[in-house]
């Protein structure tokens, strides 16, 4: 027996992008619901620490400067029309968040205060101590409760459903608590399910970041773009890979090598520790590789910041470093290393979240939208600036929600054959009834993560990436035979981890495939066998479409330039 629901707009994921999209669609009059595998406040948006960028024109900042720095940070791979919208709408969105109740830090006059962040000359990052993401996430959830938007909480989405005409028709998933499957029909689906961090091991990302949305969109025929662009954050805690906010450097913490030298002066003499993330991560890795590290790390020194500033502005990381590494950051420097942090690529969308191609037509699945880390506009290009991801989620979450509501008004209710859910259930039953072998989901997941980190990390080359490709093929084969130990229906996290691993393998393959194609170094994609950026050949995006046999078809899109011609990038 299955249940069926019907909405105008259905959002997958309840992080910042998903909730912002749902609220916007609700305000536009759509019947909207959210499906999410964790309670909204458990979402990974929580992890964004440092802040949210906005150039407020009324206080002397300039949106064009913000836009240019974003483009420069992206190593000129960002589509500049999208970046301009981001920078122009930022101020308005900050005020909306403030009016909703976000308790942004204030200056002496009681107005919103700012701090500095990487890749930018001005202090334009608005913040709530060092838990800005959490503070925003909880406030958006407050607004969601106020608006009474229905949430399918702890529902695991297994696939995107298309109607007989190939239009997007909703999502199929099961309630984790009961194992009960349902088809949730919708005229428009917005995927906002976050990133894929766990494809890498270690990663700063939460365990739930398994690329579900990217994979189900890809399987349904939507293209994934810029997948080779994986950001390594310069400051992650040794071993565990936990994030230390860029705000520490924004508040003027230093990076030191084993000689106590502020080595960034050799790599980025002007911006020093606040150069863009790809630049700082490469500098750190170079120091470590050339023997100037400390046990595979470099040091982040906050000692000179003072107790009061740390308490007011860096409280969370101070507690985190204390409880997870036993370090008092007012007394000792913190051992840190670059760690996988963010996927710049994702489901290709236009500036209203539509999965459109460059010609302004639906690419693959009409009625499919995406927002947040799952999506790729491309806003962040080859490297995202710190504090632009929170901004991305709210600006483009809102735009996607609004546009999806408008779209839903124009199209008829989709027709889906009743057998669809049954087929999905059968596939899960088949997975559950596999006989146990010596292999395990955890083992495959771990090997995938290690291979990706070893060969698609800060430095890449052909040979390493081919090794990773081979590893993934072998893991794919093992995945087709691995069994799920827990056979029960109630809260079967063993089954969920198996399904997530399937999504992650899809994502990993697209990352490796795109990275092998791009024969240059740009942003986070740095190849030791192609050391330079090649604007003649590679000022374009790589898009991958999934073929019925599981392989990928490639398309290229030229980068959209509006006002900034590519220049040499110096920090």
Partner 1 sequence: MPYFQEYQLNMDRADTVLDALMHIRDTLDESLTLRCSCRGAICGSCGMRINGHAALACKTKVQAMVSERGVVQVEPMNNMPVIKDLVTDMAGFWDKVRQVQPWLQPAGPEPEGEYLASSESMNHLTGVMGCIMCGACVSDCAALEVDERFVGPAALAKAYRFVADPRDGAGRSRLLALNEPGGMWDCTRCMECIEVCPKGVGPMDRIMLLRSRGIQANVPSTCGSRHAEVFADLIYQKGRLDEPMLAARTFGLRNLSRLLSLLPMIFRAFVRGKVPKSGPLHRAIPGMEKIRRLFQRMEERL
- Strand, helix or coil for residue 115: strand
Distance between CA 231 and CA 124 in Å, rounded?
Answer: 22
Binding mask 357-396 for partner 1 (x = CB under 8 A): ----------------------------------------
- Considering only 84, 251, 284, 320, the residue that binds partner 1 (CB under 8 A) is 320
- 322 contributes a contact to partner 1 by CB under 8 A: no
Size of the site for partner 1 (CB under 8 A): 66
Distance of CA 517 to the CA centre of its chain: 22
Distance between CA 561 and CA 76 in Å, rounded?
Answer: 9
Distance between CA 347 and CA 240 in Å, rounded?
Answer: 29
- Considering only 19, 67, 242, 363, the residue that binds partner 1 (CB under 8 A) is 242
Length of the chain: 571
3-state secondary structure string across 124-141: CEECCCCCHHHHHHHHHH
Instruction: State yes or no: is 233 an active-site residue.
Output: yes
Select the span of 1-9, 275-283, 310-318, 385-393 touching partner 1 (CB under 8 A): 310-318
Q: Is there a contact between 553 and 516 (Cβ–Cβ < 8 Å)?
A: no
In the complex, what is the shortest distance from the CB of residue 211 to partner 1, in angstroms, rounded to a whole number? 15
Strands 114-115 and 125-126: antiparallel
In the complex, what is the shortest distance from the CB of residue 98 to partner 1, in angstroms, rounded to a whole number? 5
Distance of CA 378 to the CA centre of its chain: 12
Binding mask 437-476 for partner 1 (x = CB under 8 A): ---xxxx--x------------------------------
CB crowding 274-289: b at 16 or more within 10 Å, else e:
bbbbbbbbbbbbbbbe
In this structure, what token pair is assigned to residue 221?
A: 């025929």
In the complex, what is the shortest distance from the CB of residue 100 to partner 1, in angstroms, rounded to a whole number? 7
In the complex, what is the shortest distance from the CB of residue 137 to partner 1, in angstroms, rounded to a whole number? 10
Number of H helices, E strands in the chain: 16, 19
- Please identify which of the residues 44, 66, 124, 249 carries the catalytic annotation: 249
Omega of the bond prior to 202 within 30 degrees of 0, cis?
yes
Report 472-531 residues binding partner 1 (CB under 8 A): 484-486, 488, 490-494
Nearer to partner 1, 44 or 384 (CB): 44
Distance of CA 301 to the CA centre of its chain: 28
Distance between CA 540 and CA 133 in Å, rounded?
Answer: 32
Query: How many other CB atoms are there within 10 angstroms of residue 453's CB atom?
Result: 21
In the complex, what is the shortest distance from the CB of residue 323 to partner 1, in angstroms, rounded to a whole number? 6
- 105 contributes a contact to partner 1 by CB under 8 A: yes
Nearer to partner 1, 187 or 453 (CB): 453
Instruction: State yes or no: is 31 an active-site residue.
Output: no
Select the span of 18-26, 141-149, 356-364, 371-379 touching partner 1 (CB under 8 A): 141-149
Q: Which residues bind partner 1 (CB under 8 A)?
A: 38-39, 41-44, 46-47, 58, 95, 98-101, 103-113, 128-129, 131, 134-135, 138-139, 142-143, 145-146, 177, 206-208, 240, 242-243, 312, 315-316, 319-320, 323-326, 440-443, 446, 484-486, 488, 490-494
Q: Which residues are catalytic?
A: 233, 249
């Amino acid at each position: 027996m299955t249940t069926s629901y019907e909405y105008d707009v259905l959002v997958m994921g309840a992080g910042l992008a998903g909730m912002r999209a749902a609220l916007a669609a609700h305000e536009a009059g759509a019947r909207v619901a959210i499906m999410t595998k964790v309670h909204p406040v458990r979402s990974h948006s929580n992890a964004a620490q440092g802040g949210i960028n906005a150039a407020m024109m009324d206080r002397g900042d300039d949106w064009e400067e913000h836009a240019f720095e974003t483009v420069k940070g992206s190593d000129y791979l960002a589509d500049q029309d999208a970046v301009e919208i981001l920078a122009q709408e930022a101020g308005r969105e900050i005020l909306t968040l403030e009016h909703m109740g976000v308790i942004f830090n204030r200056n002496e006059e009681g107005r919103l205060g700012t701090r500095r962040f990487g890749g930018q000359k001005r202090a334009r990052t608005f913040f709530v101590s060092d838990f800005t993401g959490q503070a925003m996430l909880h406030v958006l959830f407050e607004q969601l409760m106020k608006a009474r938007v229905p949430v399918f909480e702890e529902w695991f989405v297994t696939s995107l459903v298309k109607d007989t005409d190939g239009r997007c028709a909703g999502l199929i998933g099961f309630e984790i608590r009961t194992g009960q499957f349902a088809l949730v029909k919708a005229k428009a689906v917005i995927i906002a399910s976050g990133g894929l961090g766990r494809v890498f091991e270690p990663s700063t990302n939460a365990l739930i970041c398994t690329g579900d949305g990217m994979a189900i969109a890809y399987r349904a025929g939507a293209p994934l773009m810029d997948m080779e662009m994986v950001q390594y954050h310069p400051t992650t805690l040794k071993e565990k890979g936990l994030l230390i906010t860029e705000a520490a450097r924004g508040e003027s913490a230093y990076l030191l090598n084993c000689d106590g030298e502020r080595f960034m002066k050799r790599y980025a003499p002007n911006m020093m520790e606040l150069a863009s993330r790809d630049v700082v991560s490469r500098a750190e890795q170079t120091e470590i590789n050339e023997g100037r590290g400390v046990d595979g790390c470099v040091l982040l020194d906050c000692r000179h910041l003072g107790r009061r500033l740390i308490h007011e502005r860096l409280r969370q990381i101070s507690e985190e470093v204390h409880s997870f590494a036993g370090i008092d950051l007012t007394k000792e420097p913190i051992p840190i290393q670059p760690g996988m942090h963010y996927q710049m690529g994702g489901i290709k969308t236009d500036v209203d979240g539509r999965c459109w191609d460059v010609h302004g037509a639906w690419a693959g699945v009409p009625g499919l939208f995406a927002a947040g880390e799952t999506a790729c506009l491309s806003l962040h290009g080859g490297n995202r600036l710190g504090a632009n991801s929170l901004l991305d989620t709210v600006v483009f979450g809102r735009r996607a929600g609004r546009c999806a509501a408008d779209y839903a008004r124009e199209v008829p209710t989709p027709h889906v054959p009743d057998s669809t859910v049954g087929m999905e259930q059968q596939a899960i039953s088949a997975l559950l009834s596999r006989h146990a072998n010596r292999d395990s989901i955890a083992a495959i997941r771990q090997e995938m993560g290690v291979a990706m980190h070893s060969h698609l990390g800060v430095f890449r080359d052909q040979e390493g990436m081919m090794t990773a490709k081979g590893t993934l093929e072998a893991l794919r084969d093992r995945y087709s035979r691995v069994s799920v130990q827990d056979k029960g229906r109630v809260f079967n996290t063993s089954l969920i981890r198996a399904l997530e691993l399937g999504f992650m393998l899809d994502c990993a393959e697209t990352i490796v495939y795109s990275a092998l194609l791009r024969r240059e170094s740009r942003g986070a994609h740095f190849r030791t066998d192609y050391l330079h950026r090649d604007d003649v050949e590679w000022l374009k995006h790589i898009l991958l479409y999934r073929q019925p046999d599981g392989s990928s078809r490639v398309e290229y899109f030229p980068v959209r330039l509006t006002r900034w011609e590519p220049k040499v990038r110096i920090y």
